[in-house]
Structure 1
């Protein structure tokens, strides 16, 4: 046993180090299980905090959206983040499908209802997930709808940086129009809570 001195008013008191740190209980079955759970919790925390932030935009037409985000905004195609991939796999009940058989170059992702999705890198640790499902706007206008203002502000900054024609219709909730290559008007709208 190791002795640790404690000096108090000119008296030296020795304590046994082993009395405060029960080594035998740490290496017991229960102690090892607790250490494994703590290591697992730390690994999950590190995984989830390093995962990219994902914004979702619902669009009227995925092909028009692909042309807009890849062509005009010049966003690079991103891989589906693991936390989204595994969540979809659990929801669909396809846990028997090995991810090795799925192409990593495709921009489509499995969704409920069999629809497609597009994934783009918006910033360093921020991705844009484009899904179908938005209705067409006034005069069959393409509509891109988002629930997060920060997402649309990032897209607007990208539109401004690329010097595309746009018009801000409303600031709160954010709503602006932008023209694509084929002169189609795309309405970008924030959904108010």
Structure 2
């Protein structure tokens, strides 16, 4: 009995219908690396905390209010802010006209860096306080925000802390609080 032991090359393993030699080509490796990088970035950004930004007229008044009266714990600056990710998503072309009142180049810098005050609102939710809001009528300190949910969280914290407050408007949300020095702070949602 004779055995035919011919050594033939095995059929190339296919992945998604592509032969192994095209998967292992330079282009194939580059595509796999790009897919892996996209997956890693998606996981990184998905795990990043939700960040609400509030613009205030006076950083020291804000520090006393959020740390002292509301007792919000300080938070670490999220990693994606080190790379200027969220600040460039809409503020790059922000016209100083929308800032209200006199703005300077000093407080415009707060929009392009992770500086400011950082507080933990909830488990995976942070509050970023930046300067740039103008004083309200009768020189009330203003805290303005573009997100309704953010101000709802702050209002809930105000109510739980027993801070004296008055809701002026539900939509857009606008309420007043008094700080330790009896200064009136207006927290207002900016309707876009």
TM-score normalised by the shorter chain: which range applies?
0.7 to 0.9
Aligned length: 159
Q: Distance in 1 between matches of 2:151 and 2:118?
A: 16
Would you say the 8 A contact 1:115–1:132 is kept in 2? Answer: no
Q: Distance in 1 between matches of 2:75 and 2:64?
A: 15
1:27 shift after superposition: 2.0
1:74-113 correspondence to structure 2 within 5 Å: 74-87=71-84, 111=110
1:138 shift after superposition: 2.2
CA RMSD of aligned residues (A): 2.4
TM-score, scaled relative to structure 2: 0.75
Would you say the 8 A contact 1:119–1:128 is kept in 2? Answer: yes
TM-score, scaled relative to structure 1: 0.75
Would you say the 8 A contact 1:177–1:186 is kept in 2? Answer: yes
**Secondary structure in structure 2 of the residue aligned to 1:76:** coil
1:77 shift after superposition: 1.1
More strand by share: 1
Task: Show structure 2 runs of 5+ residues with no match.
Answer: 1-10, 89-108
What is aligned with 1:167? Answer: 166
Q: Distance in 1 between matches of 2:44 and 2:35?
A: 14
What is aligned with 1:122? Answer: 121
1:163 shift after superposition: 1.2
Q: Distance in 1 between matches of 2:114 and 2:127?
A: 16
